[in-house]
Structure 1
Amino acid sequence: MTPVLDHIGIAVRALEPAMDFYGKTLGLGRPIIREIPELGLRLAFFDSPDGAIIELVEASGKTELQHGDVVVALEVEDLDAAIAQYRARGLKVYDQPPTDNLPLRRGWITKGGGHGTIIELCPKGQVAAFVRGTHG
């Protein structure tokens, strides 16, 4: 199993000015907004058919994310196998269940285990389907 880049998440203080910067100043266009109140998250996804998705994350809930932190999201073929494989390598991997507004099960490696970067493990194709509104 070799994971590939699924998307990059960037923690921001406030979503609106960050969306303006990434969308207008950098030219990424209009984002797709997703609200996840049960996790205290507001998300803006810049979806490019020619590259990885860029996600802006405004967090008001319990999180270790701070302004400027980057989440490297890796796409994996089999989430259970990936979690087991990384745990066997000595990493503490959290298994996050789906929620009402974020119907995706994902794995997480915290900044402490990820050398200062949060690593998200995403089942193949599911984040893009969620962003595009085609997730089952």
Structure 2
Amino acid sequence: MTGKLDHIGIFVESLERAVPFYETLIGRGAPVIREVPELGLRLAFFTRQGGEIVELVEASGRTEMKHGDVVVALEVDDLEAEIARLRAAGIKAYHQKPTDNLPLHRGWITKGDGHGTIIELCPKGEVARFVAGGAGGAVAG
């Protein structure tokens, strides 16, 4: 693990209601919107060149997350090795395989296993490339 924060995700009830608030709060302009219907997700990414990513997540599918929950996404150099390392230490870490509209292989530690916090493990640079359009998926807004 690099020990670096990759991004932060915030679960919201509605992107339409939350986006104007976050546009004003963090001052980065309009976000990149991504639709992931196969997972029941709509995502809004606020980013700037060379800066951190703040992701808003609207979930309509089955999930343990609720409005206000936060995902802490950590950067990893080697996802497979990191999941193996965590499992060897007794931490339950799971794979999230890529989908058509979210072509990222990621790791997860669930809210229940993460002491109330959802931890996402992200291969270095992959989320930034996805937001920029370099990892597939269409920009919806």
TM, length-normalised to structure 1: 0.95
Deviation at 1:50, TM superposition (A): 4.4
CA RMSD of aligned residues (A): 1.2
> Which position in structure 2 is the counterpart of 1:125?
125
Q: Percent identity?
A: 69
Matches within 5 A, 1:96-111: 96-111=96-111
Code of the residue aligned with 1:115 in structure 2: it is: H
Give unmatched runs, 5+ long, in structure 1: none
Residues 13-70 of structure 1 deviation map (CA, whole Å, 9 limit, x = unaligned): 0011110100134422110000000000000000122431000000011111100000
> Which position in structure 1 is the counterpart of 2:34?
34
> Which position in structure 2 is the counterpart of 1:70?
70
Code of the residue aligned with 2:133 in structure 1: it is: G
Q: Identify which range, 26-35 or 66-75, moves more after superposition.
A: 26-35
> Which position in structure 1 is the counterpart of 2:87?
87
TM, length-normalised to structure 2: 0.92
Residues 65-89 of structure 1 deviation map (CA, whole Å, 9 limit, x = unaligned): 1000000000100000010011111
How many residue pairs get matched? 136
